[in-house]
Structure 1
Amino acid sequence: MSRLITASRFFLWLAILGVSCAMLIAAGFYLHLRPGLPPVHQLLDTRLQTPLRIYTSDDALIAEFGEKRRTPVTIDQIPERQLQAFLAAEDSRFYEHFGVDIIGLTRAAVELASTGEIQSGGSTITMQVAKNYFLTRDRTFARKFNEILLALQIEQELTKQQILQLYLNKIYLGNRAYGLAAAAQVYYGKSVEDLDLAQMAMLAGLPKAPSAFNPLANPERALTRRNWIIGRMLDLGYIQPDDYETAINAPLTAHYNAPKTEVSGDYVAEMARSEMVARYGEAAYNDGFRVTLTVKSENQTAATSALQAGLEAYDRRHGYRGPVDTSDVVPADEDAYREALDNHPKVEELYPVLVISIDEDEQNAKVYSRHLGEGFIPFEAMTWARPYRSVNSVGPEPSKVSDVLSVGDIVYARREPTATEAAPLTEDGESVTDSLAAEPVPVIKPVAMSLSQIPDVQGALVSLDARNGAILALSGGYSFSQTKYNRATQAMRQPGSIFKPFIYLAALEQGMTPATIYNDAPIVQETESMEPGWRPKNAGGEFRGPTRLREALYRSRNLVSIRLLQDLGIGTTIDYLRQLDIPTDHLNRDLSLALGSGSMTPMDMARAFAVVANGGYDVHPYLIQSIEDSEGRLLFEAPPAILCDSDCDQLRESTPTVEVGFPAIRVAERLANARAVYILHSMLKDVIKQGTGTAAQVLERDDLAGKTGTTNEQKDAWFSGFNHELATTTWVGFDQPATLGAREFGSTAALPVWIDYMRVALEDMPAANMEQPPGIVRVRIDPNTGERASPGQENAVFEIFREENQPEERASNGLSGDSEDANLPRNLF
C-alpha cells in the first residue's frame, strides 16, 4: 500500500512538474512573442484590399480593376442562415469558446506528435482572423502560438459579431473572390441576401480548401462538401428536415460570373485607370477607390454602338475578304469543332463559327459556335458578301451559299435575336441558368446568325460638353479587346478640310466677312518647303470662280482656303491657332496648312470645336468627376468651369485650392472674339443646310453646325459637329494610313457615325443656339459681289456682319446682280 501511495505521489509530482514546465514554456513564449504582436484595435482600421471601381456619371459600372475582387459587407447584411452555414463548416462552438477551441488544438497536437506534421490545424474562426489579418500562412509551431495569443486578445477586445464580420470580408474563396459578397457574385451572380440554402452551404465549404472544393473546378468534391455542411446544419438544429431535403437534392448551379459591367466603355475605363495609377500608384488597385466619370451611360453606349456600326458598314461596302481560317470538319464531333475555334476569340458581338455543312438547296449554312452551339446562316444574311477585289472594287453579288462559304470555313457571325428564344445569354454567349430551378432554362436551337467580319478599318469618337470640357462619351476603336491603342487620344492624323473653320475664324477676327469674295481658280506655288509644281485642286476637280467665303466654307473649296491663308499670312495664322490653344507642333508652316496638313488627334479636334461651340472660351477635356475612398469620403471633385471675359488672371489668383494642383474652380478665359465666333456658327450651319453635311438634316434640328474633312487620297475621313452645348468629333481611317477608297469621304464614312451617336445624345435636349452678341447686323447683299444690295434687287440675300465690317450703303444705279463685276476685290487675282 505504501508503495502505491509513493508511486502515486511520484506521478502526481511528475504531472505537476510537467504542467509547470509547460506553463513556464508557454509563459516564456508569451513573454518572447508578446512585444511583437500587433495591437488588436488595428483590425477595426484595416483597409481591405478592394478593387478600383469606375462608374458613369449616372452610377453605372464601367470597369473594375484589381487582383482581388472584394465587396465588403456588414454583419447585418448577411442572412442568419449564411452565418450558421459557416459556423457548421468551420467553428460550431464559436459562441462558446474564448477564441481557442481546446478540443481542436488537442487534436492538432496529437497529429503533430504522431506524424510530425500539423494536418488539421484546429483553428477557430477567431484564430483564422488573426492569421488572415496579421500572420503568414507558414505551418509552424511559432506561428500557431502567435495565432493563439492574438485570438485570445481579439476575443477580449472585439465582439463575436465584429469577429465574424472581419472573417467573412477577408477569407479567400477561390476565383479571385475575397470575402463572402464577392464570392456570391463570382459563383452565382447574386447578392448575399439572394442566395438559397444550398448555395450558402456551397460557399461555406470553400474556406477549408478553395481549390479542392471549388464547384467550378471540382464539382463532385464540392457537392460532397456542401452536403456534409447541410447535414451538420441539421445536426446542430440550424435547419429543419424539410429544409435539409430541399437543399441536399438541389443541383449545382454555380458558374463563373465576370464582373458585371453595365456600360461598354473600355477605352474611357483605361484612361481613368491610368490617371488613378498616376495619382495613387499601386494603391489605386487595392484601396477601394470609387471613381465617377463625366461620361453618361446612354451617351457612351451610343458612341460605342455608332462607331462599331459605322466601321462595319464601311467594311461591308468594300466586300467580303473570305474566311479567317479553314479546318477539316469531322462530322458530329463537337470536341473537334471547339478545338478548331480555339484560336479565334469572340470580338465584341461577333462570334467565330465553323461551317459544318451547307443545305442541298443552298439556302442555309449550318455552323457551330463554341459560345452558342449549333446555328445557321441563311443565304439572305450573306447577300452583301460580294468578294473584295480592291479598295475600289468588289466582285459580283452572290447567288447561292456556296458562292460565299465552304465547309470548313471559319468566319465571324452576328447572333440574330428571335422571338422564340426562351432565355437571354451572358456576356460570353452562354445560356443564363435559373439558379432556383432544377434545370437550366433552355435556349431554342439552332441559333439564327448573320455573316459578318471584323473590320480592318478603325475610327474614333469624342463627345464633349462644350461648356466645361467634360467628356460625355469616347470610343477609341472598334474593339478594346483587339488592341488597347486609343485612337481618340493617341492617333495623330491629318485633319484635312475639317481644319478650315479655324483659318476662317482667323480671317473673321481680322475684319473679313462671310461676304468677302475670293476666286476659286487654279493656283501654282513654287516654294522650297513644298513639292515642286504643287497644284492643289478641289474635290471633283472643278472651279467655281468668284465665291463668297460663306459659300466657300460650306462647299469646302480648297483654292479659296489657300488664297485666304496667303492673305492672312502663315506666321500670323499659326500665332492665332496658338491663341486658340490648338497644338501647332505638328502643323505645316506653308500654304498646305489651309487644307489641314500636319496632324492632330481626334481629342485635339473635338476640343478645338468645343471652343467654337461654346462661343470662344478656353476649355480642356477632363474625364474624372470625383474620387471617393473605400469609406465613401470625397477625395477629389472636378471644379466647375467659370467662363471669363476679363480680369481672368485676377480671378484665377483669388481662387483657393482644394487639392494640390487642383483649384476650386477652373477659369475658362475668352480666346476668340464672340462676334467672329457667332458668324462662324452661322457659316458652319450652312454646311448642314446646303453643304457637305446635309445628311445630318435627318436629325431635324436647327441648332446644328459642323464640318466634314477628307484628306488627300481619302486616307482620313472626319466630321465635327456641334450645337452651343455639345461638340462631337468622329474620325475613320486605317491605323497604317492608306486610302479608304475613291468614293469615301467625311460625309460618307465619318458623318453617319456622328449622326447615329447624336441621335441619342440630343434626344430630349432643347435647341441650343449661341445667343447673338451685341454689335451684329443683318444686311441684304449682292451674292455675286458681296456688296450691299441695290434697292429692289431680286437676287439679294441676307448676310450677317460685325457692325463695323458691314458693306457701305451705295446709291441705286439701276444695276442688277447680273451687272459687270467691275468692283470685285483683289482676292480674285
Structure 2
Amino acid sequence: MAVVKTLSKASLLVAAAAVWWLAGLYLYLSPRLPEASALQDIKLQTPLRVMSEDGLLIGQFGEQKRLPVRFEDLPQTFVDALLAAEDDQFFTHSGINVLSLARAVSELIATGSKQSGGSTLTMQVARNYFLTLDQTFIRKFTEILLALEIERRLSKEQILELYVNRVFLGHRSYGFETAAQTYYGRSLNELTLAEHAMLAGVPQAPSRNNPLSNPERSEIRRNWILGRMLGLGMISQEDHQAAIAAVDTASFNGLKVEIDADYVAEMARQFAVERLGSSAYTDGYVVHTTVSGPLQEAAQRAVIEGLKTYDWRHGWRGPERQYPPEEEEAGDALNKRWQKALAAMPIIAGLKPAIVTGIDETDATLLLRDGQSAKLAWTGDLNRVRRYQTENRRSGRARTINELLAIGDLIRIEESDAGFKLSQVPRVQGALVSLGPSDGSIKALVGGMGFVLSKFNRATQAKRQPGSSFKPFLYATALENGIHPSTLINDAPVVVGNLTDDDLWRPENDSGKFYGPTRVREALTFSRNLVSIRVLQQLGVRKLIEMAGRVGFDNSDMQPNLTLALGTHAFTPLEVATGYAAIANTGFKVDPWLIDRIEDAEGNIIYQSDPVISCPNCDEVNDTEISRIEDLFSEPEASVLEAPRVIDQRVTYVLNSMLSDVIKRGTGRRARALERNDLAGKTGTTNGPRDAWFSGYNKDLVTTAWVGFDDYSLLGTREFGGTAALPIWIDYMRIALPPEEPPPAMPEGVVRLRIDKTTGLRSDSPSEGLWEYFLAETIPNLGRKQDEADEDDLRGLF
C-alpha cells in the first residue's frame, strides 16, 4: 500500500511538473508567437503573368508555379477527398485533434519513430506559413499554440483556402489548382473523383510520391483515400468502385500557355522588372499587353511557315546529328542511347526529332521521342528531296534512300495529311511586327524562328539595312519639296566619288538595266534605285535625315550620304513599322507600345499606359474609337493625348496612292492574292542579297516582315523582298485584316488630273492620258516642257 501511495505521489509530482513546465513554456512562447491575424493579409508567392489584350495567357515567370483558387470555387469532391486524407474532423475541432495527437505520441513512444500524423489542417497552415520543418518538441508545441490562435482569428473556409493555395505538391507546383494543371492539364473543377483523390494524397510526400515520380505508390494512396471517403459516407459504393477502377492519366503538363508569344512575354517581363524589381516574380502581378491573341497566332504561323518554305527551296542540309551503332552495340543498349539522344532534342515549331533505325528500298524506319516508330516513304517524299550545296544551287534528286539517310541519323520530320515528311530546322531567321497605326499599339510580334533556339529578339533588337523599304520616306520628302508623282527623273548611270580615285560608287538597279526618263511614281512602283539617288541629290541628304527623325526613326547616327536613298542605314523592324504607321495614319507620329496596364494580385491597376492617339479629325472621332480610347484610362475625365502631326495629310494621301501601285502592279504584286483595294506597301532587298523586307498597311494595321541570316549570310541571288518576306506578310494579313471599307475622301489641297505618261506634263486632252494626284501648288503646266534644269537632268549629269 505504501508503495502505491509513493507511486501516486510521484505521478502527481511528475504531472504537476509537466503542467508547470508546459505553463512556463506557454508563457515563454506566447509573446514570441507570430500574429495569426497576419494570415488575413498574407501574400502568397505568386508568379508574374503576362496576358494578351483578350485575356489569354502568354507567359509566366517565377520560381514557384501557383494559381490561387478561392474556397467557393473548390469542388466538393475535392474538399471531401482532402479532408478524408488529412483531417476528417476539420470542421468540428478547434485547431487540434487531441485523439490524433495522443495516438501519434503513443506510436512514437512505442516504436521510436513517427508512424502517423497528428497534425490538423490548421496546424499545417501554421507550419507552412510561419514555422520551419524542424522535428522538435518546441516547434510542435508552437504549432499547436498557433493553430489555436488561427482558429480564433479565421473562419474554417479561410483556413482551408490558405492551405490549398500554399501546400507544395511536387514539380515546382504550389497549391492544388497548379497541381491539377501540372499533372492533368486541366483545372481542379474539371477533374474526376479519382483524380481529386490522387491529388489529395500528394501532400504526404510531394517530391517522392506524386503521380509522376511514383505512380504505383500514388495509386495505393489514392485508393486508401477513396476507401476513407466511402467509410465516411462521402461517396457511394458505385462511385467508389468506379474511381478505384479508373486508370490514372497523369502526365507532365508544363505551363498552359494559351498563345505562343515568347518574345512578347520576355519584353513584358523586362518591363515589369524594371518598374517593380524582384517582387515582380513573387507578388502576383498581371501584365496586360496590347497583343491580340488571334493576330499573334497568325503572325507566329506565318513566320514559321515562311521560313520553312524559304529554307526548303534551297535544299536539305542533311542529318542534324549522327548516332551510328557502335561495334557490337545492338538491342536495348542501342535503343536506350537513341532514346536519350532524342529526349535531349526539343520539338521546334512542330518539327519533331527522329532517328533512322532501318532502311530498305521502299522506306526508312524512324524512332520517335515517345518510343513510337514511323516511316518515311521513298515514293511519298524522299524521292523528291534535293540536297543544299550553296545558297544558289541544289543537287539533283537522290536515286536511293541510302544516298540521303543512314542508320543512326537524327533528322527532323513534320506531320502532313499524308503522314510524316522529311524536314529541317531553318537556319534563316525572320521577324514580324504589326502595329495599330492610330496609336502605335503592338498587335503581334515575332522575334525569330523560335525562342527555344535563340532569345535574341530580331523584331526589336536586330538592326538591319531596310533597303528599298526605306524609299517611301525619301519620296515623302520629295513630295514636300515640290516633286510630284509625274516628275521625270533620268534613270541613267550614276557615279559618285572622285574620278581620280579607285573608290567609286556605281549603284545599279536590281535588273541591271537603265530605263531613261522615268516618272517618280513608276520609279517607286518598280523600285528604280538610280532615280531614288537622283531625287536625293536634288533634295539634299539633310532633308531625308530630318524626315526620318520626324516619323520615329533614330537618326542620331545617320551618315549624310547618298546611299541613304537605298536604305543603307540599319533599323529594327519595329522602327520600320513605326515609320510606316505615320504614312498609314495620314501623317502623325506615334510611339510603339506593348504594355497596356499592370495589375497587382488584388486587381488594382498600378500602371496604366498613356499613349498618344493620331486623330485627323478629333471633333469627329467615331463611336468605336471613342470607346476604345475611354477604355485606356481609369478616370473618365482623362483627356486624350493627341499625336503630333509630322507629315502633311495631302502628302500621305498622294504617297499612299503611289505605294498602292507597288501592290497593284509593282514589286509587291503578289499581295494582289488578298483581293483587296485598300493595301499599300513596299518591298526591300539589300546588297547580296542579305536582307528581304516587306512593309505594308491599310488604315487599320501596319505590318513589317523581315527575313535574313543572323551572320549576314547571303539569301541567294533569286531571293528578294517580294519572294522571301512578302509571302509571310500575305499569310499574316489574310487573317489579321478587318473587312475592307470604302477609301478615304481626297483631302482639300489635292488635285486629280490627267497627265501625258511620256512627258509627265498635264494632258491637254480631257479623255486621254493617265490620272495622277498632285498637291495643288505643284500642278504641272498644260503642255509645257520641263524647265532647263529638268532638261539638264534628262541628259544626265553623271
TM-score when normalising by structure 1: 0.88
- Tell me, yes or no, if structure 1 residue 91 matches structure 2 residue 87: yes
Whether the aligned pair in 2 keeps the contact of 1:636 and 1:659 (CA below 8 Å) is no
- Tell me, yes or no, if structure 1 residue 827 matches structure 2 residue 755: no
Partner of 1:371: 370
1:235-246 → structure 2 map (5 Å cutoff): 235-246=231-242
- Tell me, yes or no, if structure 1 residue 155 matches structure 2 residue 154: no
Residues 1:376 and 1:646: Cα distance change in structure 2 (over 3 Å):
closer
1:22-101 → structure 2 map (5 Å cutoff): 22-101=18-97
Tell me how far 1:659 sits from its aligned partner. Answer: 10
Partner of 2:693: 718
Whether the aligned pair in 2 keeps the contact of 1:587 and 1:597 (CA below 8 Å) is no
- Find the aligned partners of 1:84 and 1:622 in 2 and give their Cα distance: 48
- Find the aligned partners of 1:46 and 1:182 in 2 and give their Cα distance: 19
- Tell me, yes or no, if structure 1 residue 802 matches structure 2 residue 798: no
- Find the aligned partners of 2:99 and 2:640 in 1 and give their Cα distance: 65
Residues 1:581 and 1:253: Cα distance change in structure 2 (over 3 Å):
closer
SS in 1 for 2:486: coil
Whether the aligned pair in 2 keeps the contact of 1:723 and 1:768 (CA below 8 Å) is no
Tell me how far 1:714 sits from its aligned partner. Answer: 0.3
Number of aligned positions between the proteins:
775
Whether the aligned pair in 2 keeps the contact of 1:788 and 1:809 (CA below 8 Å) is yes
SS in 1 for 2:460: helix
1:183-194 → structure 2 map (5 Å cutoff): 183-194=179-190
SS in 2 for 1:730: strand
Deviations 1:741-777 (A, max 9, x none): 1111111111111111111112x42236444221100
- Tell me, yes or no, if structure 1 residue 765 matches structure 2 residue 742: no
Residues 1:155 and 1:417: Cα distance change in structure 2 (over 3 Å):
farther
Residues 1:35 and 1:659: Cα distance change in structure 2 (over 3 Å):
farther
Match of 2:759 among 785, 791, 796: 785
Match of 1:677 among 639, 648, 652: 652
Deviations 1:512-548 (A, max 9, x none): 11111111111111169x9811111111111111111
> Counterpart of 1:800 in structure 2: which amino acid?
Y
Partner of 1:359: 360
Whether the aligned pair in 1 keeps the contact of 2:87 and 2:121 (CA below 8 Å) is yes
SS in 1 for 2:412: strand
Tell me how far 1:52 sits from its aligned partner. Answer: 2.0
SS in 2 for 1:411: strand
1:314-393 → structure 2 map (5 Å cutoff): 314-329=310-325, 333=332, 334-360=335-361, 362=362, 364-371=363-370, 373-379=372-378, 380-393=380-393
- Tell me, yes or no, if structure 1 residue 733 matches structure 2 residue 708: yes
Partner of 1:625: 596
Partner of 1:547: 518
Residues 1:592 and 1:768: Cα distance change in structure 2 (over 3 Å):
farther
- Tell me, yes or no, if structure 1 residue 603 matches structure 2 residue 592: no
- Find the aligned partners of 2:433 and 2:323 in 1 and give their Cα distance: 41
SS in 2 for 1:48: coil
- Tell me, yes or no, if structure 1 residue 274 matches structure 2 residue 270: yes
> Counterpart of 1:489 in structure 2: which amino acid?
T
- Find the aligned partners of 1:527 and 1:140 in 2 and give their Cα distance: 89
- Find the aligned partners of 1:451 and 1:117 in 2 and give their Cα distance: 60
Runs of 5+ unmatched residues, structure 2: 619-629
Deviations 1:775-796 (A, max 9, x none): 10011112222221223684x2
- Find the aligned partners of 1:701 and 1:113 in 2 and give their Cα distance: 84
> Counterpart of 2:793 in structure 1: which amino acid?
N
- Find the aligned partners of 2:387 and 2:226 in 1 and give their Cα distance: 62
- Find the aligned partners of 1:249 and 1:581 in 2 and give their Cα distance: 65
- Tell me, yes or no, if structure 1 residue 634 matches structure 2 residue 605: yes
Match of 2:142 among 135, 143, 146: 146
Residues 1:664 and 1:110: Cα distance change in structure 2 (over 3 Å):
farther
> Counterpart of 2:16 in structure 1: which amino acid?
S
Tell me how far 1:259 sits from its aligned partner. Answer: 2.0
CA-based RMSD of the aligned residues comes to 2.7
> Counterpart of 1:72 in structure 2: which amino acid?
P
SS in 2 for 1:526: coil
> Counterpart of 1:621 in structure 2: which amino acid?
P
Whether the aligned pair in 2 keeps the contact of 1:626 and 1:637 (CA below 8 Å) is yes
Q: Percent identity?
A: 47
1:452-531 → structure 2 map (5 Å cutoff): 452-526=423-497
Tell me how far 1:383 sits from its aligned partner. Answer: 4.3
Deviations 1:217-244 (A, max 9, x none): 1112112212222222233332333333
Residues 1:575 and 1:531: Cα distance change in structure 2 (over 3 Å):
farther
Whether the aligned pair in 1 keeps the contact of 2:662 and 2:681 (CA below 8 Å) is yes
Partner of 2:725: 750
Match of 1:690 among 658, 665, 675: 665
Partner of 2:627: none
- Tell me, yes or no, if structure 1 residue 407 matches structure 2 residue 369: no
Residues 1:340 and 1:451: Cα distance change in structure 2 (over 3 Å):
same
> Counterpart of 2:225 in structure 1: which amino acid?
I
Whether the aligned pair in 2 keeps the contact of 1:316 and 1:385 (CA below 8 Å) is no
Tell me how far 1:822 sits from its aligned partner. Answer: 8.3
Whether the aligned pair in 2 keeps the contact of 1:701 and 1:767 (CA below 8 Å) is no
Tell me how far 1:826 sits from its aligned partner. Answer: 3.8
Tell me how far 1:343 sits from its aligned partner. Answer: 3.9
Whether the aligned pair in 1 keeps the contact of 2:676 and 2:740 (CA below 8 Å) is no
Deviations 1:684-704 (A, max 9, x none): 111111111111111111111
> Counterpart of 2:398 in structure 1: which amino acid?
P
- Find the aligned partners of 1:411 and 1:173 in 2 and give their Cα distance: 37
Whether the aligned pair in 2 keeps the contact of 1:513 and 1:805 (CA below 8 Å) is yes
Tell me how far 1:356 sits from its aligned partner. Answer: 1.8
SS in 1 for 2:643: strand
Partner of 2:622: none
Tell me how far 1:127 sits from its aligned partner. Answer: 0.5
Whether the aligned pair in 2 keeps the contact of 1:350 and 1:412 (CA below 8 Å) is yes
Partner of 2:621: none
- Find the aligned partners of 1:378 and 1:68 in 2 and give their Cα distance: 46
- Tell me, yes or no, if structure 1 residue 297 matches structure 2 residue 293: yes
Tell me how far 1:342 sits from its aligned partner. Answer: 3.8
Residues 1:106 and 1:693: Cα distance change in structure 2 (over 3 Å):
same
SS in 1 for 2:66: coil
Whether the aligned pair in 2 keeps the contact of 1:644 and 1:670 (CA below 8 Å) is no
Whether the aligned pair in 1 keeps the contact of 2:541 and 2:562 (CA below 8 Å) is yes
Deviations 1:450-491 (A, max 9, x none): 000111110100111111111111111111111111100010
SS in 2 for 1:207: helix
SS in 1 for 2:207: coil
* Higher mean C-alpha deviation, range 342-351 or range 552-561: 342-351
Partner of 2:623: none
> Counterpart of 1:472 in structure 2: which amino acid?
K
- Find the aligned partners of 2:548 and 2:788 in 1 and give their Cα distance: 35
Match of 1:222 among 214, 218, 231: 218
- Tell me, yes or no, if structure 1 residue 706 matches structure 2 residue 681: yes
- Find the aligned partners of 1:645 and 1:79 in 2 and give their Cα distance: 54
* Higher mean C-alpha deviation, range 513-522 or range 72-81: 72-81
Tell me how far 1:640 sits from its aligned partner. Answer: 5.3
- Tell me, yes or no, if structure 1 residue 776 matches structure 2 residue 750: yes
- Find the aligned partners of 1:531 and 1:371 in 2 and give their Cα distance: 63
Tell me how far 1:628 sits from its aligned partner. Answer: 2.4
> Counterpart of 2:488 in structure 1: which amino acid?
I
Residues 1:772 and 1:24: Cα distance change in structure 2 (over 3 Å):
farther
Residues 1:221 and 1:285: Cα distance change in structure 2 (over 3 Å):
same
Whether the aligned pair in 1 keeps the contact of 2:552 and 2:591 (CA below 8 Å) is no
SS in 1 for 2:386: coil
Residues 1:822 and 1:308: Cα distance change in structure 2 (over 3 Å):
same
Whether the aligned pair in 1 keeps the contact of 2:304 and 2:349 (CA below 8 Å) is no
